[in-house]
Amino acid sequence: MFAQPAFDDRPRQLGGDPDWWRGGVIYQIYPRSFLDVSGDGVGDLAGIAAKLDYVASLNVDAIWISPFFLSPMKDFGYDVADYKAVDPLFGKIEDFDALLEGAHRRGLRVMLDLVLSHTSDKHPWFQESRFDRTNAKADWYVWADPKPDGGPPTNWLSIFGGPAWEWDSRRRQYYMHNFLASQPDLNFHNPEVQEAMLDVARFWLERGVDGFRLDTANMYFHDPDLRDNPPLEPGMSVNGIPDENPYSFQQPVYNINRPENLVFMERLRDLMNAYPATATVGEVGAVTDMYEAVAEYTQGSKRLHMAYSFDFLNRKYSAGHVRRVIERMEAKGGDAWSSWAFSNHDNERVVSRWGLGGRAERAGPFLIALLASLRGTPCLYQGEELALTEAVVPYEKLQDPYGIRFWPEFKGRDGCRTPMPWTDAPHGGFTAAEPWLPVPADHVSHCVDRQDHDTDSPLNRVRAFLGWRRGQPALLKGSIAFHDAPETVAAFTREADGARLYCAFNLGAEAVAFTPQPGPLTPDEGAGFGGALHGDVLRLSPLDAFFARY
């Protein structure tokens, strides 16, 4: 059994490297599905606090907690009704304070998921704004008159389907929503809105959080002239949008991705700079050039610390794709710092998405090692360390409005949001009640408790690798340079302060043997993978890795 680390019970302040976020491992927790302590079938803050020893045992550096703010839950917390209140579903503000203190005591930083681009339509700001056209918050949201024929003001589309405009009979105007009609977009052209959102960030920074994951970070501003989006040109695609969604037919250049957005990021960075060792990671999606966007949003020390990319959240899977993505980011990104992920709460779990479900136990640790060896900050999603596959949720049990809208071609996000399996008890030990989403039987068989007792389990292999990685400066902040290798192999060197680490990953279904360049190499077996040198020849089994110094 993996030995749980001993922790000092005395509260302490996190110190150390203010640039911890460069290469630090972030672990995403989806609170609805982590652990239910209250017994209502939905995870809560007390559940997260109860499992902090487990999270710390993974050798990660920070947790990112998806929204737990007051919300009607039409989009499961991404529709906020009060940014400074904890929804009773998740507990109380005191529960958050206890979680924060417990995380810090274990050396874990805490990042909150801030949804600043829009609110719930139940937010008091929107309720006042929609009352009439002259109230104090009349201009806090994006309102526009209809076209002469009564139609929407522009051709802009909602990511969740249909027009990005909803008619309001009281104001006799349309309001804009990039997502659900119950998620009206804030008008960031109004200085009072900007100040209100900076105040939200300040509230949580004062409470002691270590940073923010910024949802839809490139969607805060719209074109005030309300120009129509042009159609997508041949050969172009919209990053992060499935083909089944008509949103992918347009270039989203006027409803989002506006230059004013970057100016607000500079204001936010100024605020963050007043709180040392805090960091931001922005979700930058629905762009036609991801590399240029990440570079813009993380330029120097003026804007976001790092940006969340969608390049590995699609169905492409090959060594060549890995190399192309990283080399393009290096070429176009300048001093940009990326945050990479293979799975999250919005996308099919990676071992299923990349067709590796039949070899999940081998693929899971391998993919985490690959992710955490690339230049950038890796984000792991809860359950990824268990090598969980995508759950199959029957239509009658779907909760996600996105999936319900586009079923069956696109099944939505519920399959990656099913509860964490902790034990082989009913519902995986997640809850004593009926869980909000079903827990698959094959997830229960891969529960934490079972894997904890198996030294060769995906869980313990991930723990071992991330523990080894912490002592590798080249993997934390070093440069990256790719080497030619067989077609199925991603091979590269990470280098920092003269220390060079050669890394090779066989993403193929067949074993390979080749003479690596450069050399000669001195293998480092501490990472726990089986690739081996035989003379000058490196032999790699499928889904195996090799690390060496030279």
Tokens 């999940």 map to which residue?
Answer: 360
Question: Residue 449 in 3-state DSSP?
Answer: helix
Report angle CA 260, 266, 271 to the nearest 5 degrees.
135
pLDDT tens readout for residues 150-190:
999 999 999 999 999 999 999 999 999 999 999 999 999 99
pLDDT tens readout for residues 334-392:
888 999 999 999 999 999 999 999 999 999 999 999 999 999 999 999 999 999 999 99
Q: Domain 478-549 carries which CATH code?
A: 2.60.40.1180
pLDDT tens readout for residues 462-504:
999 999 999 999 999 999 999 999 999 999 999 999 999 999 9
Q: What is the structure's pLDDT at 315?
A: 86
Q: Of the residues 75, 79, 113, 283, which is catalytic? A: 283
User: Cβ–Cβ contacts within 10 Å for residue 421, how many?
Assistant: 27
**Structure-block tokens of residue 426:** 């009913």
Q: What is the structure's pLDDT at 7?
A: 39
pLDDT tens readout for residues 55-77:
999 999 999 999 999 999 999 99
Residue 125's pLDDT band (cuts 50, 70, 90): very high
Residue 409's pLDDT band (cuts 50, 70, 90): confident
pLDDT at 9 over 50: no
Pick the closest to residue 211 from 139, 278, 129 (CA basis).
278
Which pTM was predicted? 0.96
- Look up the CATH superfamily of 26-118+191-469: Glycosidases (3.20.20.80)
Q: What is the structure's pLDDT at 3?
A: 40
In Å, what is the CA distance from 394 to each residue of 130, 304, 387? 38, 39, 22
Q: What is the structure's pLDDT at 410?
A: 87
Lowest mean pLDDT across 2-11, 128-137, 292-301: 2-11
pLDDT tens readout for residues 493-537:
999 999 999 999 999 999 999 999 888 999 999 999 999 999 999
Q: Report the distance separating Cα 318 and Cα 161, nearest Å.
A: 31
Cα torsion for 405, 408, 414, 416, to the nearest 10°? Answer: -130
pLDDT > 90: what percent of the chain?
Answer: 91
3-state helix, strand, coil in the chain (%, to 5): 30, 20, 55
What average pLDDT does the chain have?
A: 95
Number of H helices, E strands in the chain: 15, 21
The pLDDT of 451-460, averaged and rounded, is 97
Classify residue 121 as exposed, middle or buried by CB count within 10 Å of its CB (0-12, 13-18, 19+). Answer: buried
The pLDDT of 325-330, averaged and rounded, is 94
Q: Report the distance separating Cα 346 and Cα 161, nearest Å.
A: 16
Lowest mean pLDDT across 185-199, 239-253, 470-484: 239-253
Q: What is the structure's pLDDT at 5?
A: 38
Residue 15's pLDDT band (cuts 50, 70, 90): low
pLDDT at 313 over 50: yes
Residue 432's pLDDT band (cuts 50, 70, 90): very high
Contacts of 26 (CB under 8 A, 6+ apart): 60, 61, 62, 63, 64, 111, 281, 339, 377, 378, 379, 380
Residue 316's pLDDT band (cuts 50, 70, 90): confident
Q: What is the structure's pLDDT at 10?
A: 35
Q: Of the residues 215, 385, 390, 452, which is catalytic? A: 215
Q: What is the structure's pLDDT at 142?
A: 98
Would you call 19 a catalytic residue per the annotation?
A: no
Q: What is the structure's pLDDT at 33?
A: 98
Would you call 215 a catalytic residue per the annotation?
A: yes
In Å, what is the CA distance from 87 to each residue of 29, 30, 68, 212? 16, 14, 6, 19
pLDDT > 70: what percent of the chain?
Answer: 97
Q: What is the structure's pLDDT at 8?
A: 40
The pLDDT of 413-439, averaged and rounded, is 98
pLDDT at 4 over 50: no
Q: What is the structure's pLDDT at 332?
A: 87
Chain CA centroid to CA 544, Å: 25
What residues does each domain of the chain span? 26-118+191-469, 478-549
The pLDDT of 47-62, averaged and rounded, is 98
The pLDDT of 416-441, averaged and rounded, is 98
Residue 16's pLDDT band (cuts 50, 70, 90): confident
